[in-house]
């Protein structure tokens, strides 16, 4: 096979091999890593927002609880509390002042310095989540030092307890909490991303790379079997893809090799034909002179010899003209099948010692076919039968026999070639009419039946092996050809009625 033919056969495949030229900028692993970090961070943010509000709430509640206890102490003490104790209690609460509202009166229980109006008010009794979150971010974003008046539940039936605190310590605590959450989130993201990438690498990326390598390398050289993928047997989607790819690659390989052989054979046939035609032409010239001999045997054989050589030359010529594997269009004409079978039997006679060829076709059975091509069909089928009989012998207790039958079936002519040999071996039956597929004999090419099928199909007919269908065969193989008796779809041939 030359370079152009090879390129034509594997063209679409070899384009597959061009894909790896593209550089992979961000591999799947790095994309996955970035995505996992992003998703974990988003999750952490979703958790952080309510948790920072909760943190602030707890911080204020702690101060209020301390103030609550202090209020009980102040309420229980009738005399004024000493100034040192007063400031010690305020320090432990973390407030500038503590006040309580009972009925309509607001009473300042303790205060450090002169009272000042607060910058912000915050009521811890039943705030909504949204209010808590807004207040938390307000605290985090506050630029200047502010004071907050925090209101909570009061002891001893009071209306509310109010403490005035500085916002700065709480803001610092909230920022340090946020930083911790950020660090923790980053650590979790990295650990999760690493584990996810390792898992994905083992479960997905490695098998996918294996697939990609096999596809691209096989695409570069589809005639070599070394890049056919070995399926790993995994039961997930990639395992199924590997199985399917292996089947596809094996089929392609087989098909390419088959086409390669056919192309090589075509070339060989063309070369053989070319030289054979020249040799046959010389033989034809010599045999022409045999006709003039006075020897009776020579006179009887010479016309047949000349006809056979004519046929061989025109066949070689037509193969050269019409190309390797394609049969030329049949030149149909009205033929006596009986005479054609006699001709084939005569040509085969040197190969059939001991085999009886029974021409059971009626003398007045005509068909409408290409004489040259039908001759080759019958020659191939009868030769196969004779080969099977000489190689494996006939059915026990019978003489080797090949029988030709024909009958009319509606608008078709049915021709049967039967023998009493061993029958077609089961391995040869699958793809029997495909080139190189059916041969089970050493030394044979396995082309005969594919040529027969091509010619029969070219005539618009069909061929099948009918042995084993309970037909009236001879116990061996029976090939049945069905040919239309019409010239065209609407035109019925003017053939005489023939005997079945």
Q: Give the pairing type, strands 401-409 and 412-419.
A: antiparallel
In angstroms, give the least distance from the CB of 2 to ligand ATP: 25
Whose Cβ is closer to ligand ATP: residue 223's or residue 372's? 372
Binding-site partner at residue 57 among Mg ion, ligand ATP, none, CB < 5 to 8 Å by type = none
Query: Smallest distance from the beta carbon of 444 to Mg ion, in angstroms?
Result: 6
Q: Which of the choices ligand ATP, Mg ion, none does residue 109 contact, using the CB cut-off of 5 to 8 A by kind?
A: none
Locate tokens 């392609």: which residue? 252
Which secondary-structure segment (H or E) carries 163? strand 160-166
Residue 252 Cβ vs ligand ATP, minimum distance, rounded to whole Å: 24
Smallest gap from residue 426 Cβ to ligand ATP (A): 10
Q: Is 405 helix (H, G, I), strand (E, B) or coil?
A: strand
Write the DSSP assignment of 297-344 as a string of letters: HHHHHHHHHHHHHHHHHHHHHHHHHH-SSPPPPP--EEEEHHHHHHHH
Report which of 25, 9, 19 is spatially closest to residue 215, judged by C-alpha positions.
Answer: 19
Distance CA 137, CA 60 (A): 15
Q: How far apart are CA 500 and CA 311, in angstroms?
A: 30
DSSP states of 131-173 as a string? HHHHHHHHHHH--S--EEEEEEPPSTT-SEEEEEEESHHHHHH
Residue 438's SS3 state is coil
Indicate which of Mg ion, ligand ATP, none lies near residue 412 (CB less than 5 to 8 Å, by partner kind): none
Task: Report what 477 binds from Mg ion, ligand ATP, none; CB cut-off 5-8 Å by kind.
Answer: ligand ATP
- Interaction site with ligand ATP (CB under 6 A): 380, 384-385, 388, 419, 421, 423-425, 428, 438-441, 444-449, 476-477
Shortest reach from residue 433's CB to Mg ion, in Å: 12
Nearest CB to ligand ATP, comparing residues 11 and 425: 425
Q: How far is the CB of 294 from Mg ion (least distance, A)?
A: 40
Least separation in angstroms between CB 424 and ligand ATP: 4
Q: Which residue is nearest to Mg ion (CB)?
A: 448
Which x/- pattern, by CB under 5 A, does the window 445-464 give for Mg ion? ---x----------------
Contact 59, 93 (CB under 8 A): no
Question: Quick check: 229 and 246 in contact, CB under 8 A?
Answer: yes
Residues 263-292 that bind Mg ion (CB under 5 A): none
399 binds, among ligand ATP, Mg ion, none (CB under 5 to 8 A by kind): none
Please name the residues in contact with 456: beta carbons below 8 A apart, sequence gap of 6 or more. Answer: 377, 462, 463, 481, 483
Nearer to ligand ATP, 139 or 352 (CB): 352
**What number of chain residues touch Mg ion (CB under 5 A)?**
2
Task: Residue 18: name its binding partner from ligand ATP, Mg ion, none (Cβ under 5 to 8 Å by kind).
Answer: none
User: Whole-number minimum distance, CB 430 to ligand ATP, in Å?
Assistant: 11
Structural tokens at position 327: 């049969």
CA atoms within 13 A on the CB side of 487: 9
User: In the complex with ligand ATP, which residue's Cβ is closer, 299 or 445?
Assistant: 445
Site residues for Mg ion, 362-391, by CB under 5 A, read 384
Residue 94: contacted member of ligand ATP, Mg ion, none (CB under 5 to 8 Å, by partner type): none
H-helix segments, 360-421 = 371-392
Which residue intervals of 77-121 are DSSP H helices? 83-93
Task: Residue 415: name its binding partner from Mg ion, ligand ATP, none (Cβ under 5 to 8 Å by kind).
Answer: none
| Interaction between residue 421 and Mg ion (CB under 5 A) | no
Q: Which does 388 bind (CB under 5 to 8 A by kind): ligand ATP, Mg ion, none?
A: ligand ATP
Give just the sign of the alpha carbon dihedral 256, 258, 262, 264: positive
Least distance from ligand ATP to the Cβ atom of residue 468, Å = 12
Residue nearest to ligand ATP (CB): 448
List all residues 6 or more positions away from 393 whose beta carbon is below 8 Å from its beta carbon: 400, 421, 422
Q: Candidates 277-285, 367-375, 400-408, 442-450 — which segment interacts with Mg ion by CB under 5 A? A: 442-450
**Are 346 and 338 a contacting pair, CB within 8 Å?**
no
Query: Minimum CB separation from Mg ion for residue 347, in Å?
Result: 15
Nearer to Mg ion, 234 or 441 (CB): 441
Nearer to Mg ion by Cβ, of 74 and 479: the residue is 479
Provide the β-strand partners of residue 407.
414
For 236-291, where are the alpha helices, taking DSSP H only? 237-290
Task: From the list Mg ion, ligand ATP, none, pick the one residue 344 interacts with, judged by a Cβ distance below 5 to 8 Å according to partner type.
Answer: none
CB of 250 to ligand ATP, least distance (A): 23
Report the residue number, 416 or 419, with the smaller CB distance to ligand ATP.
419
Is the CB of residue 220 less than 8 Å from the CB of residue 254?
no
Closer to Mg ion by CB, 95 or 404: give it. Answer: 404
User: What is the C-alpha separation between 475 and 120, in angstroms, rounded?
Assistant: 110
Task: Tally helices (H) and strands (E) across the chain.
Answer: 12, 12
Q: For the sheet with 120-123, list strands across it.
A: 105-111, 97-102, 160-166, 147-152, 120-123
**Where does this chain bind Mg ion (CB under 5 A)?**
384, 448
């Amino acid at each position: 096979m030359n370079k152009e033919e090879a390129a034509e056969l594997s063209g679409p495949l070899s384009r597959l091999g061009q894909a790896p030229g593209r550089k992979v900028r961000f591999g799947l692993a790095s994309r996955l890593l970035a995505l996992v970090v992003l998703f974990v961070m988003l999750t952490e943010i979703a958790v952080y927002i309510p948790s920072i509000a909760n943190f602030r709430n707890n911080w204020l509640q702690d101060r209020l609880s301390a103030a609550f206890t202090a209020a009980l102490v102040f309420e229980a003490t009738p005399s004024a509390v000493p100034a040192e104790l007063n400031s010690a209690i305020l320090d432990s609460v973390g407030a500038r002042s503590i006040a309580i509202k009972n009925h309509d009166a607001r009473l300042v229980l303790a205060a450090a310095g002169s009272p000042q109006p607060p910058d912000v008010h915050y009521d811890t009794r039943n705030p909504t989540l949204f209010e808590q979150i807004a207040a938390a971010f307000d605290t985090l974003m506050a630029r200047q030092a502010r004071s907050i008046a925090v209101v909570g539940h009061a002891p001893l039936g009071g209306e509310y307890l109010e403490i005035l605190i500085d916002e700065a310590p709480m803001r610092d605590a909230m920022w340090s909490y946020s930083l911790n959450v950020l660090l923790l989130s980053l650590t979790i993201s990295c650990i999760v991303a690493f584990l996810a990438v390792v898992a994905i690498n083992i479960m997905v990326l490695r098998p996918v790379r294996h697939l990609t390598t096999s596809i691209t390398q096989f695409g570069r050289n589809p005639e070599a079997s070394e890049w056919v993928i070995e399926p790993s047997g995994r039961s997930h989607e990639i395992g199924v893809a590997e199985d399917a790819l292996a089947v596809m690659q094996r089929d392609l390989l087989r098909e390419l090799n088959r086409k390669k052989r056919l192309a090589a054979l075509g070339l060989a046939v063309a070369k053989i034909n070319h030289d054979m035609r020249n040799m046959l032409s010389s033989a034809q010239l010599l045999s022409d002179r045999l006709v003039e001999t006075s020897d009776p045997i020579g006179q009887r054989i010479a016309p047949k010899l000349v006809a056979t050589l004519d046929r061989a030359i025109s066949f070689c010529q037509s193969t050269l003209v019409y190309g390797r594997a394609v049969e030329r269009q049949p030149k149909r004409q009205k033929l006596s099948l009986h005479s054609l079978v006699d001709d084939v039997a005569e040509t085969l006679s040197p190969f059939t010692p001991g085999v009886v060829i029974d021409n059971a076709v009626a003398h007045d059975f005509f068909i409408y076919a290409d004489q040259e091509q039908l001759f080759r069909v019958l020659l191939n089928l009868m030769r196969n039968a004779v080969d099977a009989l000489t190689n494996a012998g006939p059915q026990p207790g019978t003489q080797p026999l090949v029988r030709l039958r024909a009958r009319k079936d509606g608008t078709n002519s049915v021709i049967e070639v039967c023998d009493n040999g061993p029958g077609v071996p089961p391995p040869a039956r699958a793809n029997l009419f495909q080139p190189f597929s059916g041969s089970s004999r050493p030394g044979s090419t396995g082309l005969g039946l594919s040529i027969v099928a091509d010619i029969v199909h070219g005539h618009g007919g069909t061929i099948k092996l009918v042995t084993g269908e309970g037909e009236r065969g001879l116990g061996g193989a029976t090939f049945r050809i069905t040919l239309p008796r019409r010239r065209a779809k609407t035109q019925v041939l003017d053939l005489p009625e023939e005997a079945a």
